[in-house]
Amino acid sequence: MLAPLAVPLLTLALGSGPGSPLALYPLQSKGLDAATTRSIDAALRAQIASMDRFQLFGLGETRSVLRAPGGALGLSCDGGDDDCLAGVGRLLGGAVVAFGSLSPDGAELWLVDAKTSGEVRRVQIRGSPLEAAREAAVALLTPDRYVGLLSVEGSVGRIAVDGVSRGDLPLPAPLILDVGRHAVTLAIPGQGSLDVTADVRFGQTFIVTAVPPGAAAAKLGAESGGARGAPLRTASYFVLAAGVLSLGAGIACGAVSANNAQALQSMTRPIPLSQYSLVNQEAQRTQGFAVAADVLFGAAAVLGVTGVVLYLVGSSSGVPAGGSSADPRAGGSVKMEANGVSIAF
């Protein structure tokens, strides 16, 4: 759940240009083992670096101002105290500090302004720890990209979202909406209107299928055509699974590259001549993992888009079964689906 804070406040704190300084305090665990927490921390750092909006302090730089276990110097903000986190940001010269905690059922991230010690934004996402942390990072740091799609399929009617008209059917493309619940109204001349709630999720498409008056036969054909669309939907599952695997491999390669780069940066200078060959090999290995991560991320994006297209094409061949309810204003019905609704007048 997102805290109800306006986006301009976040923009003011981070700055509008690229390269805004950001410190990520090492992620804390609430029930996860240390190895998993470190792995997700590395993946999150690689994701933030790929956003191209922040100058992210390295893990070594951040730890340089933290209190070592058993030590007396430095700051220890493992409890997430805002004033303490702001102190970390001031010591590093950072504009904001991100803090996060992981649990087996989700992740929570928030930002603290180093100048004011005030909390800028807080995000809590439920799900697997890694995916929840990645989604929370998008919502927290790039809220303009924290969106989903609303696809309204039909040939007759006018669509309004949250009381604002969005045009007549058929729409030229899916609507981009903020993540969350939206009131969708379908009005058909002479038939009244129906209201449905669209639960728009990050990176997913909520589908509203509108069946116009006198289209019972066409609806029956569409339902029987679901068998024809099933192979496409099945293929989309395999393509999307391949995309997820590519994304996971890319995250792993990115994490290795980031860790190696951090290790190279922390080496004592000047580097002894006897170690030049070893350092050069390690630099080439780091670059290789970075290139591999870019390739895998690109493949994941292509596979993801392909999978979504296949699923939408397959879904358009039939209307999935579900419960229905009548609306007394229009004499129509609403059929609930897994991630959408079907409206019949």
What is the domain partition of the chain in residue ranges? 7-145, 147-216+326-344, 228-315
Per-residue pLDDT at 58: 93
- CATH code of the domain made up of 7-145: 3.40.50.10610
Decide if 90 contacts 84 (C-beta within 8 A): no
C-alpha distances (whole Å) from 11 to each of 89, 144, 179, 215, 247 are 17, 10, 19, 48, 28
- Both tokens of 320, joined, read 């999935």
Q: Identify each DSSP E strand in 69-156 by its residue range.
A: 96-103, 106-113, 119-126, 147-153
Per-residue pLDDT at 69: 83
Residue with tokens 């619940």: 181
- Both tokens of 157, joined, read 């009617």
Backbone φ, ψ for residue 180 (5° rounding): 135, -175
Decide if 333 contacts 344 (C-beta within 8 A): yes
Secondary element (H or E) of residue 222: helix 216-224
CA 193 to chain centre: 33
Per-residue pLDDT at 18: 54
Per-residue pLDDT at 106: 96
pLDDT along the chain (345 residues), means of 10: 40 51 96 96 94 90 91 91 96 90 97 94 95 96 93 90 94 94 90 89 90 48 45 68 75 73 66 64 71 72 69 55 40 57 65
pTM of this structure = 0.59
Helix (H, G, I), strand (E, B) or coil at 254: helix
User: 31: exposed, middle or buried (C-beta count within 10 Å: 0-12, 13-18, 19+)?
Assistant: exposed
Euclidean distance between the first and the last CA atom of the chain, given in angstroms as a whole number: 34
d(CA 47, CA 134): 8
d(CA 88, CA 240): 40
**DSSP state for residue 17 in the 8-state scheme:** S
